[in-house]
Amino acid sequence: MKLRIAIQKSGRLHDDSIKLLKECGIDINNGVNKLKTEASNFPLEVFFLRDDDIPQYVEDGVADIGIVGENVIIEKARPVKIAEKLGFGKCRLSLAIPKAAEYNGVKDMDKLRIATSYPVILQNFLNQHNITADIHEISGSVEIAPGIGLADAICDLVSSGSTLFMNGLKEVEVILKSEAALISNDNLTPEQEALLQKLLFRIQSVKKAKN
């Protein structure tokens, strides 16, 4: 029996996910363009997937565990457990508007067109503040939406803020703070659970050694 872990195929979380497994003493040969690979010294099978698909695969039990951003976990709202926060992939989901626009608080978002890839989280936030806005869901390059007249504001992931700056935008509200997390299926077998605990023990040791 092997534990199956889903990690991002390529993108911002890929390298740090592989690095974490290596720091846990797990040897995997991450050949490019591979769909999956196996560890040579731990009963672990690694699946390479798009980050957006990872919560669903873990819920369905196609993978037992996965590494994905909390932003994606919350947006997808799948019944999976967060086993451990991992301390990398740190970012925030924020509202941003054109640099020159006036801003006096969340109320200013009322009736605006807001472009985002996170419609669920944004809608919840707007509801909490009793704001009605027109959410435009787009899957990428959200930061260009105001410049091309598609939206008045955006709700997007930010880390340094340089992408916003380059697009003439300013961050006005932080909706969510996020980092990568290890998620697990709700119904692991006792055998799978034992392997997960073994992996978690190693992850926690790696984290402690860094503090």
Binding site for ligand ATP (CB under 6 A): 8, 11-13, 50-52, 69, 71-72, 89, 91, 157-159, 178
| Nearer to ligand ATP among residue 72 and residue 109 (C-beta) | 72
Provide the minimum distance between the beta carbon of 9 and ligand ATP in the complex, in angstroms, as a whole number: 6
| Nearer to Zn ion among residue 51 and residue 75 (C-beta) | 51
Provide the minimum distance between the beta carbon of 154 and ligand ATP in the complex, in angstroms, as a whole number: 12
| Residue from 176, 171, 177 nearest 96 by CA | 171
Q: Which does 116 bind (CB under 5 to 8 A by kind): ligand ATP, Zn ion, none?
A: none
List residues binding Zn ion (CB under 5 A). Answer: 51-52
| Residue from 114, 116, 122 nearest 97 by CA | 114
- Strand 44-49, strand 36-38: pairing: antiparallel
Q: Which helix (H) or strand (E) holds 94?
A: strand 91-98
| Nearer to Zn ion among residue 44 and residue 89 (C-beta) | 89
**At residue 203, what is the residue type?**
I
Q: Residue written as tokens 């992996």?
A: 199
Q: Which does 91 bind (CB under 5 to 8 A by kind): ligand ATP, Zn ion, none?
A: ligand ATP
- Tell me the two tokens of residue 127: 């509801």
C-alpha–C-alpha distance, residues 180 and 84, integer Å: 9
| Nearer to ligand ATP among residue 51 and residue 84 (C-beta) | 51
Provide the minimum distance between the beta carbon of 201 and ligand ATP in the complex, in angstroms, as a whole number: 25
C-alpha–C-alpha distance, residues 36 and 170, integer Å: 40
Q: Which does 202 bind (CB under 5 to 8 A by kind): ligand ATP, Zn ion, none?
A: none
